[in-house]
């Protein structure tokens, strides 16, 4: 079972790396799946530049093929995202929009952060997108506050109760990812 932890920001000075490290640290204690960070910065995706819809799977650009191969090998995903203007980041939405079948019949969980509401509105938007991509998103999510769960708004040091939430979300994510493997195989 392979779960990708997708870092959903490419902004200079981003906090997503420190949140992603925390998620990976907690997830790495598990024995029921392996976890790997997938950093959008590593893929250099321009604004969607494929001529055909991703549902056709007719990728032409090398960066799209590389991104598709990276995503296709996972059974599930943890999307780590800040909230920008009451939504997910443009970079994350763009990266999601590049692909289709690589996302299908897999599971997703969410870790968000922000000033007001801990990024919950970004997750609300992501949940709508997940349905269109045939991704089963799990109920439990982790919402971190830049005010109370970060040192100087920079380093993620979540309150103790967030780890229990993260473990619960990962339990759900691994269970759904395992269950959906048979659907992926049949497709």
pLDDT at site 46: 98
List the one residue out of 106, 135, 138, 141 whose CA is nearest residue 121: 141
The pLDDT value recorded for residue 116 is 82
Q: How much is the pLDDT for 4?
A: 98
Spans of the chain below 50 pLDDT:
none
Q: Which residues contact 54 (CB under 8 A, 6 or more apart)?
A: 97, 98, 99, 100
pLDDT tens by residue, 72-126: 999 999 999 999 999 999 999 999 999 999 999 999 999 999 998 999 999 999 9
pLDDT value for 111: 98
pLDDT of residue 37: 98
Tokens describing residue 39: 């950093």
Cα–Cα distance for residue pair 109/81, rounded to 1 Å: 11
pLDDT of residue 186: 82
Whether 2 contacts 74, CB under 8 Å: yes
3-state SS assignment for residue 68: helix
Bridge partners for 166 per DSSP? none
Task: Output the domain CATH number for residue 131.
Answer: 3.40.50.360
Read off φ and ψ for residue 69, nearest 5 degrees.
Answer: -65, -40
pTM: 0.97
In terms of residue numbers, what domain contains 122? Answer: 2-186
> Domains in the chain: how many in total?
1
Spatial neighbors of 156 by CB under 8 A, at least 6 apart, are 15, 18, 19, 21, 22, 113, 144, 149, 150
Provide the sign of the torsion angle of the four alpha carbons 84, 85, 91, 92, taken in this order.
Answer: positive
Asked if 31 contacts 62 with a C-beta cutoff of 8 angstroms, the reply is: no
């Amino acid at each position: 079972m392979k779960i990708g932890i997708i870092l959903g920001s490419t902004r200079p000075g981003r906090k997503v790396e420190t949140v992603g490290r925390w998620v990976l640290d907690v997830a790495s204690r598990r024995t029921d799946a392996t976890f790997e960070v997938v950093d959008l910065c590593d893929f250099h995706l321009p604004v969607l530049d494929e001529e055909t819809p991703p549902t056709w799977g007719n990728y032409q650009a090398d960066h799209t093929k590389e991104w598709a191969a990276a995503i296709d090998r996972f059974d599930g995903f943890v999307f780590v995202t800040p909230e920008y203007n009451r939504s997910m980041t443009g970079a994350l939405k763009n990266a999601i929009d590049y692909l289709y079948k690589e996302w299908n019949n897999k599971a997703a969980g969410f870790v968000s952060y922000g000033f007001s509401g801990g990024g919950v509105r970004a997750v609300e938007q992501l949940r709508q997108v997940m349905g269109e991509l045939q991704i089963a998103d799990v109920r439990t999510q982790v919402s971190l506050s830049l005010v109370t769960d970060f040192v100087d708004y920079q380093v993620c040091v979540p309150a103790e109760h967030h780890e229990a939430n993260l473990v619960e979300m990962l339990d759900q994510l691994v269970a759904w990812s395992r269950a959906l493997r048979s659907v992926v195989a049949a497709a």
